[in-house]
A and B are shown apart, each in its own frame.
Chain A
Amino acid sequence: MTEGTLGRSGLGRRGFGLGAAAALAAPAVLSARARGAQRIVVAQPGGPYETAFGKAFAEPFTKATGIEVALVARPFYPSAQVQAQVEARSYQWDVVSLSSFDVEILARRNLLEELNLPAQDLVGIIPNAIRPTWLGTDIYATVSAYRTDKVKGSQPENWKDFWDLGGIPGRRSLYKNPQGTLESALMADGVLPKDVYPIAYDRAFKKLDEIKSKISVWWSSGVQSTQMLRDGDIEFIAIWNGRAQAAIDDGAPAKIVWNQGLYTVHGFAVPKGVPTKPLGVEFIKFCADAKRQAAYTPYMAGGPTNTKAFDYIEPKLASTLPSAPSYLASLLEVNTAWWTDNKDDAVNRFNEWLLL
């Protein structure tokens, strides 16, 4: 096994020599790592992301700069790890992919580095993908999707139709999380997207009461949602667009309703104090490029944040991406500032509503 497969600077091999010797050797090894070869570890969600980011960003970046990139999978919510690594000054990640919601929390706690990306590198990037400590590279959306083989007659167009149990019969499924679910309820109740925030809890829960007993499954992992849509265990579901697309690509007779979907931007940041920061920033800058962003779209249904990327994407493929110009206008961005202020409370209220 080569150095490359088992951790940089021999970190990975250290465990072989178990015992006091390894513990004593630790500081020396760490400082060797800090000196660092031209190599960065980039944490990302794994699965289809890993393939996509490898092809579109990591491999071409190494080719262009000589800096090696190791893609590692991170937990679905990576913030706890970022905080732990920064506070302990013990870095396992040089760059980490974060949703705009993760960034909001971490930036408020001063756990991320300022990137200072020059404006000329950000031409074409949508404004809400640019923050001082983070650059958004892809967009995913919570949309509704339905089985075209079961839902006949009038085609669902929005959350109001999702709530219309009489007009569009079929089993429903929602995400077991207040984020996205409360917004959908409000829009189903006729609230205009621009008025969704701040969320009116009473109104949202009252609307949710209407369909509570008809929700067959409250899903909580991406695997579940895809399985249900694909195998026809439900007819109508609130789902991440990428998970719905995976079912459709596998041949499931399903369709995505883009209108009133809720989108979140996902991108890259550098944990505070990482010694390899310049390399990380270089990598992030590379990921802003329109062609590079277009290159990941065949591997996962994330929408580029660089609007120029659509010049390089086939129309058929573009129609599966949330940031396609025709969809983006009908989507609402999840308000990360509101959620960061209120998620504690919202989670408590949601659990009480659901469980008591």
Chain B
Amino acid sequence: MSAARARSQGLLRLWPLLPALLLLGIFMVYPVADLLSLSFTDQAGRISIQNLALFMQRPVYARVLQSSFLISAYTTVICLVLAYPVSYYLASSAERVRSNLLLVVVMPFWTGFLVRTCAWLILLAPSGPLTQVGVWLGFQNVKLAYNLTGVLIGMSQALLPLAVLNMLPVMLGIDRNLLPAAAIMGARPAEGFWRVYFPLSLPGVAASGLLVFISALGFFITPTILGGPQETMIAQLIIVQIQELLNWRFAGVLSLVLLISALVVYYAYDRILGMSTLVGERAQPGRSRLSRLFDSSLARLGAGALGLIGRAASGMGLVLARLTPAPLRRPGRALQTTLVALILAFLMLPTLFVIPVSFTQSTFLDFPPRGLTLRWYEEFIHSQAWMSATIRSLYVAAIVAVTSMLLGGATAFTLARESFYGKKLLLALVLSPLILPRMVIAVALFYLAARLHFAGTDLALVIGHTIIAFPFVVVTVMVGFQGYNRQYDRAAAILGAKPSRTLLHVTLPLMRSSLAAAAIFAFMTSFDDLNIALFLTGGEQNTLPKQMWSAIILQATPILGVASTVLLILISAFLLASEVVRRQGVIRRRRAGAAA
């Protein structure tokens, strides 16, 4: 085979990347680059670096950038620490229990991000119930809101499901027989965990960490509502520049700085924790000499620290096992259950809060609710604005879930299976919609959509939401591939299955849990988005977060609690029903199999 032919074949194999690249290229890279290029012009449109100079001269921006990174880092650590036991517990539960608990994990999303933040504001306020509990427990001067504590509570609660959904598939892929095997060979339970299970679960932890960190960088509503001045994040300043000052040039500079520093983090993360495990480059020989040289020298520098942590954990397994407090050494299921229940309670708290307050007679979303009335339910059901917004949000999210799965799935499969030069760069590009403040993407996309005459339509909304949703799909599916044994594909091929048949009947069913997690997350990303919707649907085409936001901006009325409660019930019922249908299908197939 000639080298040229091999290369062209190599490129041909990459065709599944094309749709995603086109989407990103046309609807994100081009308009965003166009908008950000404004940063290098002055008022008269001449090329200038005055905006960049302003950023350098004003120390406050570097300071805010620094605190944004710190807050995101703390959030990531909290999320990982809380998500690990939950994922571990889910992975070791029976399938039925697992799918039910997974419903609980994703449940907060149906409440809507804004409502949850508002619920936290009321729960954490100095006069709020949680502070009162703290005082009752004997803590003096408990301050839960308007400081770092408040921001971290709000942000980690918001991002915890993302962490769990990315850890779980990896843990499910870990062979359940390994721990008993370790025990047979003389390892104590804790030792077996630290030396065998923990290192194997690290790719999921790494992916969760990256996604949580990057998503956290773009947060602005939580720090605005729950934080104090010291918790100001860069996205808040960008939004002030766009909305209050109409200074898109300086907003562009701030966005660029945020993007570049996030890419530096991505690069460092890759070096320290080894993104190569994420893109599955470990066992991919036969790559070009240049890239091998490039990688190996850097890899030597970073020594693939993910492996290092794993090795350290396994090396220190005995020590860690000793250090683990006695009751946790052989953590009884009861103890695990308690811990997981506490974490899930934290996750559910704002969601459960909105249910009783939706019946309050007060005109505020407050706690404890005053009296009992169905007045707000009546108002919700009779309001065309709320109804049409709810319906639009649901179907747009459903379409986005499908488009994101198609684009993201194809991208992830190709990235995980093929090796080519610039793969990590491509992954960085795919992740960039998560880093860029959504408002920047929204403004850029609005101008493009307006030029192409489809601004203000649901199509624009679907495109915008797909851009921000499919990166989650890519990462989640790629992480799923970590635990996927390629031998199955080869076995199918040897048995004569065509690639398409293998994909449909072998690969996809085996990847089920990753795909389900990815689809749910894509749906939720669209369902909960405010920024893209704010710019792309300024007119009557309201989405639910926009409708909620207009009900929250001046006064949090109990109708927010109603909207949240109704959705919670509707979507949970839908998910439960589909779960029941799926289970019955499984049982029927098993019976059929047994009969045969």
Q: How far is the CB of A110 from chain B (nearest CB, A)?
A: 13
Task: Answer whether residue B334 sits at the interface, using C-beta atoms and an 8 A cutoff.
Answer: no
Residue among A26, A76, A343, A355 making CB contact with B452, cutoff 8 Å: A26
**Which B residues have a C-beta under 8 Å from some C-beta of A?**
58-60, 63-64, 118, 121-122, 125-128, 146, 224-225, 228-230, 232, 237, 240, 242-247, 250, 362-364, 366, 384, 387-388, 391-392, 395-396, 399, 443, 446-447, 449-459, 461-462, 534-535, 537-542, 546-547, 549-557
A218 and B228 contacting across the interface, CB-CB below 8 Å: yes
Sample of 26 A–B contacts (CB below 8 Å): A6-B388, A6-B540, A23-B454, A30-B453, A46-B550, A46-B554, A47-B554, A47-B557, A48-B555, A70-B540, A73-B549, A76-B243, A80-B246, A84-B535, A90-B455, A217-B228, A221-B225, A222-B553, A224-B225, A226-B554, A231-B128, A232-B127, A343-B245, A347-B240, A352-B59, A352-B60
Q: How far is the CB of B157 from chain A (nearest CB, A)?
A: 18
A77 and B454 contacting across the interface, CB-CB below 8 Å: no
Instruction: For B131, give the chain A residue with the smallest CB separation.
Output: A233
Instruction: For A19, give the chain B residue with the smallest CB separation.
Output: B459
Task: Answer whether residue A12 sits at the interface, using C-beta atoms and an 8 A cutoff.
Answer: yes
- List B contacts of A232 (CB < 8 A): 127
Decide: A79 near B121, CB < 8 A? Known: A11-B457, A88-B446, A89-B450: no
Task: Answer whether residue A55 sits at the interface, using C-beta atoms and an 8 A cutoff.
Answer: no
Q: How far is the CB of B271 from chain A (nearest CB, A)?
A: 31
Task: Answer whether residue A7 sits at the interface, using C-beta atoms and an 8 A cutoff.
Answer: yes
Task: Answer whether residue A75 sits at the interface, using C-beta atoms and an 8 A cutoff.
Answer: yes
- List A contacts of B462 (CB < 8 A): 15, 18
- List A contacts of B391 (CB < 8 A): 1
Decide: A73 near B228, CB < 8 A? Known: A14-B458, A27-B453, A84-B447: no
- How many residue pairs, one in A and one in B, have C-beta atoms under 8 Å apart? 209
List A residues 84-122 near B (Cβ within 8 Å).
84-85, 87-90, 92-93, 105, 109
Residue among B243, B455, B539, B552 making CB contact with A75, cutoff 8 Å: B243
Instruction: For A219, give the chain B residue with the smallest CB separation.
Output: B146
Stretch of A126-134, A242-250, A282-290, A314-322 that contacts chain B:
A242-250
A233 and B246 contacting across the interface, CB-CB below 8 Å: no
Q: How far is the CB of B121 from chain A (nearest CB, A)?
A: 6
The 9 closest A-B pairs by CB, nearest first: A15-B458, A88-B450, A46-B550, A73-B550, A92-B539, A90-B450, A92-B538, A77-B243, A231-B127
Interface size class of chain A, counting residues whose CB lies under 8 Å from the partner chain:
35 or more
Decide: A352 near B58, CB < 8 A? Known: A90-B450, A90-B453, A227-B121: yes
Instruction: For A8, give the chain B residue with the smallest CB separation.
Output: B540
Instruction: For B58, give the chain A residue with the smallest CB separation.
Output: A348
Residue among B128, B246, B455 making CB contact with A88, cutoff 8 Å: B455
Q: Which of A216, A220, A249 has the most CB of B within 10 A?
A: A220
Task: Answer whether residue A37 sits at the interface, using C-beta atoms and an 8 A cutoff.
Answer: no
Determine the distance from Cα of A166 to Cα of B307 in the docked complex, in whole angstroms: 61
- List B contacts of A59 (CB < 8 A): none
B388 and A1 contacting across the interface, CB-CB below 8 Å: yes
Residue among A89, A221, A344, A355 making CB contact with B64, cutoff 8 Å: A355
B553 and A46 contacting across the interface, CB-CB below 8 Å: yes
- List B contacts of A158 (CB < 8 A): none
Determine the distance from Cα of A250 to Cα of B549 in the docked complex, in whole angstroms: 21
Task: Answer whether residue A64 sits at the interface, using C-beta atoms and an 8 A cutoff.
Answer: no
B457 and A81 contacting across the interface, CB-CB below 8 Å: no
Determine the distance from Cα of A41 to Cα of B535 in the docked complex, in whole angstroms: 16
B553 and A45 contacting across the interface, CB-CB below 8 Å: yes
Residue among A14, A88, A223 making CB contact with B555, cutoff 8 Å: A223
